Structure 1
Amino acid sequence: MPITPTREEELALLARVRERAGEDALVAGVDEVGRGALAGPVSVGIALIGSGTSDDFPVGLRDSKQLSAAARTRLAPLCRQWAVDVAVGHAGPDVVDREGIMAALRHAAANALSTLIAAGHRPLAVLLDGNVNWWTDAPLFDAAPLLPDLPVLTKMKGDASCAVIAAASVAAKVERDALMVTLDTQHPGYDWARNKGYASPAHIAALRELGTSPQHRVSWRLPGLSQSEPSPLEPSEAGRIQPAVSQPEPSQLELSHKEDE
């Protein structure tokens, strides 16, 4: 049975931020889509909440993976109405190949964040899906930090349990899926309109027959092109992921932050 998200985590974090920054403080829910795909961009959705955000989030909101395409399409505009603001950023396969999947996530998040900041909405803390803090681990891998130094609370399965992350998840999934449908018309034969760039049987068969396209992540070991057992996961980047760490309670977060330059 699908998990119904709540606002418990995001409201606790928002309360801590407001103690330092006042009533106008915003918290970001962040989720990614397309990380394990063989082709197309990796996308990051950011949804913002504040003190005025209603407790009545859209009915039926869930982790985007638990929803049908029709349900996601219906919910996406409702999520944008509910949240203070929502933006989605993308990083193409060239970024994945050049810098790795973790840096590509930061590029995508930076693109989404720049849209929010341009609209006058700057979050002061991040609620991030998963158990890896790829947001503030930037100095380990990037020549320069791509994202502002903000407090980050990671949440395993946050896209299922936290309303603001679920909203970000739905927005990112809908926007990336639409991009893959468009890319399918530009690079026909891989069935991206259906598989969205993931390792479906039709996609793997097309790789054997057609080879790669400019939208494929050619630094990866792509199924259908290797004599060894194929893997759709990020092989070269897996070693860069940091070990999982325990999630701090909101009260443990250091809420001071440096403004991004």
Structure 2
Amino acid sequence: MRRLATEFGPLVAGCDEVGRGALAGPVSVGVVVIDVRSARTRTVLRDSKLLAPERRVELVPMVRSWALASAVGHASADEIDDVGLMEALRLAGMRALGQIEAAGIVPDVVHLDGNYDWLGRGGQGSLFGDATPMPTVPVRTMIKADLKCQAVAAASILAKVERDAIMVDLGVQEPRFGWAVNKGYATPEHRAALHSFGPTVWHRRSWNLDRAAVEALDGDG
């Protein structure tokens, strides 16, 4: 049986994404649901980008125990190429929400970091030929929500830790691009490796990877 808001206090889901600007690897979306009536304040929770990697990993057990429910969804580089970044973010977000709903939790509202609702707006289509499923609860955007809302900050931490682990594992399989360090982002070393070796199956081939490689030669960035 689903555990609805009437059985607890109001249930608020915080949602945040990571990996949007990377050249390789998935986009990942974290969702953390809290009962606002009983959840304790956790002042240590901040946007994952403001925390050292080691500190983010340390906070994961606390986030999991603090939250009523939590999950991370991913959309691969191939999916980004096939449906575009915004639709891939929605796929990842709906996968995370699906895990939470499968556990019997239905939040009253989802707070989404930023000013654009990529989660609740209708998509152009998915890998399966139909529009990506839409959230069944309201989505509210909030600029700097990862600094203002602890549930969003917690979601950011979970998503960042999971995605970083994925990129470290991929870096073992493909060590030439330094993903254990750069996590797929466009560092000078990553761009130089793109110029030398070309893209892998984990790169977002619909992106302008040739330009990124040329920028490495020009010393830009």
Supply the AA of the counterpart residue of 2:13: A
What residue is the counterpart of 1:96 in the other structure?
80
Kindly report which structure 2 residues correspond to 1:1-261, keeping only aligned pairs within 5 A, or say none.
22-24=6-8, 25-57=10-42, 59-139=43-123, 143-222=130-209, 223-224=212-213
Q: Tell me by how many angstroms 1:50 deviates.
A: 1.4
Asked whether the 8 Å contact 1:48–1:164 carries over to 2, the reply is yes
Q: Once the two structures are aligned, what percentage of the paired residues are identical? A: 48
Cα distance change on mapping 1:90 and 1:230 into 2, 3 Å: farther
Alpha carbons of structure 1 residues 139 and 176: separation in structure 2 relative to 1, 3 Å:
closer
Structural RMSD (CA)? 2.4
- Whole-Å separation in 2 of the counterparts to 1:147 and 1:81: 28
**Cα shift readout 1:32-65 (whole Å, capped 9, x = no counterpart):** 00000000000000000114542332x4211000
Tell me the distance in 1 between the aligned counterparts of 2:38 and 2:78. 37
Do 2:121 and 2:134's aligned partners in 1 also have CA atoms closer than 8 Å? Answer: no
Deviates more, 1:30-39 or 1:218-227: 218-227
Cα offset for 1:227? 10
After TM superposition, the score normalised by the length of structure 2 is 0.88
Unmatched 5+ stretches in structure 1:
1-19, 233-261
Relative to structure 1, is the Cα distance of residues 146 and 75 closer, same or farther in structure 2, using a 3 angstrom cutoff? same
How far the C-alpha of 1:104 sits from its partner, in A, is 0.3
Change (3 A) 1:228 1:103: farther
Note the alpha carbon deviations across 1:90-125, whole angstroms, 9 max, x for none: 000001000000000011011111211121112231
Contact 1:33 1:172 in 2 (8 A): yes
- Per-residue deviation, residues 134-190 of structure 1 (Å, max 9, x unmatched): 111124565324232321111111111111100000000001000000000111200
Aligned residue pairs total 212
Secondary structure at the aligned position of 2:70 is classed as strand
Q: 1:21 to 1:112 in 2, by over 3 A?
A: closer
Runs of 4+ in 1 over 6 A off after TM superposition: 226-232
Match of 1:146, SS? coil
Structure 2 contact 164–183 (Cα < 8 Å) conserved:
yes
Give distance in 2, aligned partners of 1:226 and 1:141: 33
Q: Is the 8 A contact 1:221 1:230 kept in 2?
A: no
